[in-house]
Amino acid sequence: MKAVLFTTFSLLLVLPCFSQAIKKYVTEHTVNIEHVETSTADYRDLEPIGKAIGDARVVMLGEQDHGDATTFLAKTRLIKYLHEQKGFNVLAFESDFYGLTKGWDEVAKRSETLIPFFRENIFPIWTRSDACQYLFENYIPHTFQTQQPLQVTGFDSQLFQAYSFQHLKEDLDRHLVETHVNATFATAAAYQTFLEAVAALLAKPLNPEFFTNEMVQVLEDGLQTIRQAQLANNDSSYWQIVVENLKALTRNSNRVRDQAMAVNLNYVVNEKYKNEKVIVWAANTHVMKYTDHIKSKAKQFDQVIFENMGTAFVRDGATKTYVLGFASYQGTAGRLGAPTFSVQAPHKNGFENWIPEQIHYGFVDFSFYNATYNYPQEPFLMKSPMHFTIPGRVAAIPWNLAYDGIFFIREMRAVKKAE
């Protein structure tokens, strides 16, 4: 016990010393970003971000909370820049994998069909937000009138938006019948009970009382039967991923969900759009990496940091990826349907206080710092992945290894519902 206390006390003593090199780097190398206005086409101030991204095929854009309007505006401007200047032609959302792959292939690419499709198949925290209206109702539809459309897809294993709710059970049934997998169930009645459980799972957000505990076991048994049949048939189709998503959905676990999202994103990047560059829109919690190295015994710590999608996706290094986290100094936040709250003040020796005061929006490239100083593992304090600082006594985190760069916002604004 004394050794543990000494180690913890030592960490608190040396944390300020460890952070001096990164503090100097941040203070001297934060690049000013002029604004987050989405309608302009002058991207000269974003060129340092483009240079840092280099030849990465995937750029992940995080957010501290799903109600950060200022972040949404900044991400929209970055998406325009990456699409128009850097050849990124796919935008992947933290939303329904099935609806935004199969459903996206089927929808007519016209404003009058795209706008309702977005509202029904991408989480309303974004599509109903005032800060995302330009992206969904103007920019993306407009690109389909050009020679360079911006394709939309998704990677979330939460398959319960409109398209999945309306089509997934029937599509799965059709596939299982065509491949004779339905015959591997014990009886025809057992197969029908399984399909009823799938329908209940997809309807759970609308009617949770209909999805009973008994159905969980029916689903798990049925999905295991299907998976065994797929393996026996050497089935490497898209449907094996869908089945794994349904399994993840039954378990309702952060870790399981993120592992499924990593598999889904790999399919999007390296199969469906294998010749394209991809922008990822998700929470900091999902896009950050290095989380398999961050340990803590603190209660509920694994609700904040766990072995997540970003960590799993970049692990093999096969797809060059740039992870851009977002951090803010002050202001308000709060997603649609939840109360607005004041953003927590940063730690007095935290990253946010190292940014020169005259900078309202800024970019810090950790990848250059890491390459220059051989990937330092010294911890420092920053409000991340959400709007609060994780104390050094809870977990020593080298945030420069969790993100390749940070987009800094001095004044955050909470979203409002679009009119």
Report the pLDDT value the prediction gives residue 19, as an integer from 0 to 100: 65
The verdict on 277 and 139 lying in the same domain is yes
User: Is residue 355 predicted with pLDDT exceeding 80?
Assistant: yes
Looking at the fold, whether 100 and 131 belong to one and the same domain comes out as yes
Number of domains within the chain: 2
Q: What contacts 24+ positions apart, CB below 8 Å, involve 259-262? A: 259/307, 259/309, 259/312, 260/157, 261/94, 261/97, 261/155, 261/156, 261/157, 261/286, 261/309, 262/309, 262/312, 262/313
14 with 140, same domain: the answer is yes
Query: Considering 258, 288, 321, which residue would you say is the last residue of a domain?
Result: 258
User: Is 334 contained in some domain?
Assistant: yes
Domain-embedded: residue 103: yes
User: Of the candidates 210, 234, 258, which is a domain's last residue?
Assistant: 258
Q: Are 46 and 189 in the same domain?
A: no
Q: What does DSSP say about strands 151-156 and 88-96: parallel, antiparallel, or unpaired?
A: parallel
pLDDT at residue 100 tops 80: yes
Same-domain check for residues 184 and 313: no
Are both 276 and 168 inside the same structural domain? no
Q: How far apart are CA 57 and CA 63, in angstroms?
A: 20
Residues 174 and 228 placed together within one structural domain of the fold: yes
Given this model, what pLDDT does residue 419 score? 85
**In the predicted model, what is the mean pLDDT of the chain?**
94
Residue 371 lies in a domain: yes
pLDDT of residue 110: 98
User: 265 in a domain, yes or no?
Assistant: no
Q: What is the CATH number of the domain that holds 287?
A: 3.40.1660.10
Are 322 and 279 contained in the same domain? Answer: yes
Give residue for tokens 């029937």: 170
Co-location of 134 and 179 in the same domain: no
Q: Both 250 and 276 in a single domain?
A: no
Exposed/middle/buried for residue 399 (C-beta within 10 Å: 0-12, 13-18, 19+): buried
Average pLDDT over residues 72-87: 99
In a domain, residue 64? The reply is yes
Please say if the pLDDT value at position 130 is more than 60: yes
What tens digit of pLDDT does each residue of 328-345 get? 999 999 999 999 999 999
In single-letter form, the type of residue at position 269 comes to V
β-strand 277-281 against 88-96: which pairing, if any? parallel
pLDDT at 13: 41
pLDDT, tens only, 2-38: 333 333 334 444 444 446 899 999 999 999 999 999 9
Band (252; pLDDT cuts 50, 70, 90) = confident
Residue 353 lies in a domain: yes
267 lies in some domain: no
Residue 329 lies inside a defined structural domain of this protein:
yes
- Percentage of the chain beyond pLDDT 70 is 95
Alpha helices, DSSP H only, in 276-403? 284-287, 309-314, 366-372, 399-402
Q: Assess contact for 308 and 387: CB atoms under 8 A.
A: no
Taking only the tens place, the pLDDT of each residue in 153-196 is: 999 999 999 999 999 999 999 999 999 999 999 999 999 999 99
Whether 200 and 226 have beta carbons less than 8 Å apart is answered as no
When pLDDT is cut at 50, 70 and 90, the band that residue 51 belongs to is: very high
Does the structure show a pLDDT above 80 at 145? yes
Length of the chain: 419
399/354 same-domain check? yes
**Domain range for 405:** 2-158+272-412
| pLDDT (0 to 100) of residue 235 | 87
Which of 211, 230, 258 terminates a domain? The answer is 258
- Furthest C-alpha separation in the chain: 70
Same domain, 330 and 392: yes
Pick the most confident of 19-23, 229-233, 265-269. 265-269
Confidence band for 1, pLDDT divided at 50, 70 and 90: very low
How far, in Å, CA of 306 to CA of 289, rounded?
10
Give the pLDDT band of residue 246 (cuts 50, 70, 90): very high
331 Rama sector, left if φ>0, alpha if ψ -120 to 50, beta otherwise: left
